[in-house]
């Protein structure tokens, strides 16, 4: 028996796909290698050979079109020249996303594991998920002025168990406590629920780096630095997800059915930036957060936003009065917000930090001060 033409065609398609993925990996590996050898004060060597406009170097230095730039007191990493072009990054991301989109999201994740390790059904699935995380870091590093591809890769983020509307992975990093993790308070900390709030994502990477350098082992931290990567990365950044839904109005709060659509139409005059979705928890990103709440069972949730320059709080009493320069100023309750759902309905303390600017990071002193104030409040109210 000879293989049919159809079989040969399929075989050729598979072969082409594998070659594409191999090329993509080569791109990535060459990018990482470059990153590791370029020192902060080097003049920014280039590995590009073409002269086309799309071969323009992406630099961690200030870019006029990037609102997350021009930060006072920024660290040296901003001056590293990233040797991955924007075109390479987005091509790689597209190839890897297309591959990962065919995989099931949920049941491959071992929710019981305190180390948040992926427990895949096959090595191929595991590898694909990890490559989708690498592709995400390439996109993030090329988008944010304060987080380079190397900064992102350095965190060893892992697949968090779900993909977004555009099949990007929602990624996490766990920092385990000393001793029996089940006896220590669990803190779920999230950035970028609104995709155009750049600083809320960048600050996650600063705090993860701080935590990695510290000896703090008293809490089980779960970082989700970018809950809405499609909003950040699909062209110009937007608040909503790829379905045009404001994720912070899509949580299944008790009042969603009665009030979410009504509030949107009447109070916001149908502002598309506040669209709560067609039904509660309609969006995969919100479903993921709800699942985190059900399985990780956080004792405290921290959600970072911008740019209202204040501290909001929902849930059981004794909110912090201030965190860094953010002072407590209760904003009230919105149908479908995380604070409403998790804080008021479920009784989990929800700290909402609104940074002063979506595009300009707090300086390093403030980043540290906010972290220390948060820790102090946690020790006061939630130490086991
Ligand atoms: Zn926001």
Output the CA 251–ligand 1 centroid distance in Å.
Answer: 14
In the chain, what percentage of residues exceed pLDDT 90?
A: 61
Give the C-alpha separation, 327 to 316, whole Å: 18
Output the CA 358–ligand 1 centroid distance in Å.
Answer: 9
Output the CA 198–ligand 1 centroid distance in Å.
Answer: 10
Give the C-alpha separation, 41 to 63, whole Å: 18
Provide DSSP, 202-253.
HHHHHHHHHHHHS---SSEEEEES-S-HHHHHSSS--SS-TTS--GGG-S--
Output the CA 13–ligand 1 centroid distance in Å.
Answer: 43
Burial class (CB in 10 A: 0-12, 13-18, 19+), 58: buried
| Cβ-count burial 174-185 (b if 16+ within 10 Å, e if not) | bbebeeeeeebb
Output the CA 382–ligand 1 centroid distance in Å.
Answer: 26
Give the C-alpha separation, 114 to 177, whole Å: 10
95 neighbors 20 (Cβ within 8 angstroms) = yes
Question: Would you kindly state where each structural domain of the chain is located, as residue ranges?
Answer: 7-44+55-382
Work out the average pLDDT over 309-328: 95
Output the CA 224–ligand 1 centroid distance in Å.
Answer: 15
Output the CA 76–ligand 1 centroid distance in Å.
Answer: 28
User: What's the token pair of residue 83?
Assistant: 């040797």
pLDDT for 8-51, tens place per residue? Answer: 555 545 555 555 545 445 444 444 333 332 222 222 223 322 33
User: What's the token pair of residue 202?
Assistant: 């960048």
Whose CA is closest to 152, among 225, 99, 80, 100? 225
Task: Confirm whether pTM is higher than 0.85.
Answer: no
User: What's the token pair of residue 288?
Assistant: 């993921």
Tell me which of 61 and 119 has the higher pLDDT. Answer: 119
Q: Does the pLDDT of residue 59 top 80, yes or no?
A: no
Output the CA 197–ligand 1 centroid distance in Å.
Answer: 6
Kindly give the residue spans of alpha helices, DSSP state H, lying in 67-214.
86-100, 123-143, 149-154, 198-213
- Tokens 């590995």 locate to 47
Output the CA 240–ligand 1 centroid distance in Å.
Answer: 10
CB-CB neighbours of 64 under 10 Å: 7
Output the CA 332–ligand 1 centroid distance in Å.
Answer: 15
100 neighbors 131 (Cβ within 8 angstroms) = yes
Tell me which of 57 and 338 has the higher pLDDT. Answer: 338
pLDDT for 131-175, tens place per residue? Answer: 999 999 999 999 999 999 999 999 999 999 999 999 999 999 999
pLDDT attached to residue 127: 87
Output the CA 230–ligand 1 centroid distance in Å.
Answer: 15
CA 89 to chain centre: 17
Output the CA 244–ligand 1 centroid distance in Å.
Answer: 14
Output the CA 191–ligand 1 centroid distance in Å.
Answer: 9
φ, ψ dihedrals at 187, nearest 5°: -120, 120
- Tokens 């006896």 locate to 183
Output the CA 140–ligand 1 centroid distance in Å.
Answer: 18
Provide DSSP, 11-29.
HHHHHHHHHHHHHHHHHHH
Output the CA 329–ligand 1 centroid distance in Å.
Answer: 15
Strand partners, 290: none
pLDDT range class, residue 111, cuts 50, 70, 90: very low
- Tokens 């992102």 locate to 152
> What's the CATH superfamily of 7-44+55-382?
Zn peptidases (3.40.630.10)
Work out the average pLDDT over 191-209: 98
Reported as half-sphere exposure (CB side, CA atoms, 13 A), residue 69 has a value of: 17
Give the C-alpha separation, 324 to 313, whole Å: 15
């Amino acid at each position: 028996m000879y293989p049919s033409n159809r079989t040969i065609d399929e075989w050729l398609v598979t072969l082409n796909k594998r070659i594409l993925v191999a090329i993509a990996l080569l791109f990535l590996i060459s990018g990482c290698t470059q990153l590791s050898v370029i020192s902060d004060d080097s003049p920014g060597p280039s590995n590009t050979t073409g002269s086309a406009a799309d071969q323009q170097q992406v630099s961690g230095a200030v870019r006029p079109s990037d609102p997350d730039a021009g930060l006072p007191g920024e660290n040296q990493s901003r001056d590293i020249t990233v040797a991955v072009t924007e075109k390479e990054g987005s091509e790689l991301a597209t190839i890897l996303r297309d591959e990962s989109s065919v995989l099931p999201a949920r049941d491959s994740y071992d929710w019981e594991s305190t180390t948040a390790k992926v427990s895949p059904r096959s090595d191929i699935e595991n590898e694909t998920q990890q490559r989708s995380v690498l592709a995400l870091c390439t996109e993030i590093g090329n988008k944010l002025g304060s987080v380079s591809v190397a900064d992102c890769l350095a965190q060893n983020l892992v697949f968090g168990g779900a993909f977004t509307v555009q099949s990007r992975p929602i990624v996490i990093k766990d920092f385990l406590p000393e001793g029996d993790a089940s006896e220590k308070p669990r803190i779920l900390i999230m950035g970028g629920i609104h995709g155009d709030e750049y600083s809320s994502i960048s600050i996650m990477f600063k705090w993860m780096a701080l935590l990695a350098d510290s000896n703090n082992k008293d809490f089980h931290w779960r970082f989700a630095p970018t809950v809405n990567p499609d909003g950040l990365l699909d062209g110009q950044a937007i608040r909503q997800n790829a379905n045009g839904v404001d994720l912070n109005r899509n949580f299944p709060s008790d009042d969603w059915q009665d009030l979410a659509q009504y509030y949107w139409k009447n109070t916001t005059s149908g502002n598309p930036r506040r669209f709560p979705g067609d039904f509660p928890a309609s969006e995969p990103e919100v479903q993921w957060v709800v699942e985190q709440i059900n399985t990780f069972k956080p004792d405290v949730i921290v959600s970072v936003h911008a740019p209202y320059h204040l501290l909001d709080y929902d849930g059981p009493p004794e909110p912090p009065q201030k965190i860094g320069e953010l002072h407590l100023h209760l904003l009230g309750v919105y149908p479908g917000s995380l604070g409403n759902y998790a804080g008021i309905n479920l009784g989990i303390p929800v700290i909402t930090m609104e940074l002063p600017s979506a595009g300009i990071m707090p300086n390093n002193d403030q980043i540290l001060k906010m972290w220390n104030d948060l820790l102090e409040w946690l020790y006061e109210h939630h130490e086991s």
